[in-house]
Amino acid sequence: MYNMKRLTTTLLLALALVTAWAQNPFASLLSDFQLVANEHIQNRDQIDSLYYLKTRTYVAPYSGKKAIKKVNETLQQIAQIYEQQLPAHTSGYYNSQSFGESNSDHLGTFLSVYFSASHPSLEIGKKEHNYAVLRKNAPNPIYRFISGVEWWLDTADCVHFKLIDVFGPQSDYQYQKALYLLGQAKGLSTDSLLLQTTLAKAADLLSKWEINSTERTVQSIHILCNKYRGDDPVIDEAIVEMVTELFVNYLNSDQRTTEGMVSVLRELTLPGFYAEIISNEESPVQHLPLSDLANQWPHLNIFCISYEKKGSPACQKYGDKAKNFLLQVYLQ
């Protein structure tokens, strides 16, 4: 009982500490201005750690003596809070110029804030944008908190303030290194670790590219299917997810053709990728591996197609044959 109570107290204290670190010290300065935008990205990475990006954008009038005075006072308070908070943080970054001045003479003053392998880095301080940013390392030294505010003159009579809160890995290099070490701790082979890292980077690219042309899709699926081992759950799962993403992108692409579908289907040799052909007539449903569907595809009078991904009840009715993907083809 004593140990459980002690553990609970420790967890509560840690939670309170993280919450305190996550509070943006500049937030109270902007409460009188109009909130015009709110962004919130949050998920867990492959190390099963939380990451997030939260931004809130406010607009302040900058026309007339009273409005200009309020904005200028806010800027002074931002500078004061930054100086007050800096000693309690790991580091900080501050850049402030008069409105209308260009940062062209201060190349490299903008910040690129990494927080997730699945999302682009946040850029702070682009041309004519000012900022005050505080960084504090998390208990896990790979991760850190970022709290800050960015401001710029949008028009002659309008100033924007963006509150920024970020938690995530300090860099892609450190994240990939941690992922590698985690794999070693789990007993994965060096080859598996290297391939896992490569697949993670490739998955990130797939989320950014529109790889939907026939040639690219066929080549990519061919390479991935040849990498499938059948005895490495980590690698095999990553390959299944990537092949599924490629195939779904092609199915939804305006570049999809009959000939292209035949070529793509022939490459889909992974286990658990299955198809069913459903007729409006009373004939029984035909079901077969996706790769076998290639020969029939040009001759089918198709009304529409649908699909179910891994975990769907529709996939489960065929057992392991459709455990990863089920293409449903409805005939006229």
Tell the residue number behind the tokens 């005895």, with chain if given.
231
**Could you tell me the CA-to-CA distances from 277 to 2, 171, 289, 296 in Å, in that order?**
62, 47, 11, 10
Task: Tell me the pLDDT tens digit for each residue of 255-294.
Answer: 788 999 999 999 999 999 999 998 876 778 889 999 899 9
Q: What is the pLDDT of residue 211?
A: 44
Within the chain, which residues score under 50 in pLDDT? 1-21, 103-108, 203-212
- Alpha-carbon gap, residue 163 to 150, rounded angstroms: 7
Query: What is the chain's mean pLDDT, rounded?
Result: 80
| pLDDT value, residue 17 | 38
Residue 332 to residue 322: CA distance in whole angstroms: 24
Q: What is the DSSP code string of 248-284?
A: HHHHT-TT--HHHHHHHHHH--STTEEEEEE-SSSSP
Dihedral sign computed on CA atoms, order 258, 330, 242, 296: negative
Give tens-digit pLDDT for 294-316: 999 999 988 888 888 888 888 88
Instruction: Please give the C-alpha separations between residue 275 and each of 44, 76, 168, 291, in angstroms, as whole numbers.
Output: 32, 65, 40, 9
Tokens 């991935």 sit at which residue? 224
The residue written with tokens 């089920």 in the block is 326
Measured CA to CA, the distance from residue 235 to residue 229 in angstroms comes to 8
Alpha helices in the chain (DSSP H): 2-22, 65-85, 172-185, 190-208, 214-227, 233-251, 258-267, 290-293, 313-316
- Per the DSSP assignment, residues forming a β-bridge with 41 are 53
Q: Who contacts 148 (Cβ-Cβ below 8 Å, separation ≥6)?
A: 24, 26, 93, 124, 131, 132, 133, 134, 163, 164
Q: How far apart are CA 22 and CA 13, in angstroms?
A: 14
C-beta of residue 132 within 8 angstroms of C-beta of residue 149: yes
Structure tokens that stand for 116 in this block: 């997730």
Give the H/E segment covering residue 214.
helix 214-227
What is the chain's Cα-based Rg?
Answer: 26
> Helices (DSSP H) in 148-189: which residue ranges?
172-185
Strand order in the sheet with 325-331: 286-289, 273-278, 325-331, 302-309
Q: What is the pLDDT of residue 219?
A: 81
Nearest to 152 by CA among 81, 66, 75: 75
Torsion (CA) 275, 280, 283, 288 in degrees, nearest 10? -10
Element (H, E) at 220: helix 214-227
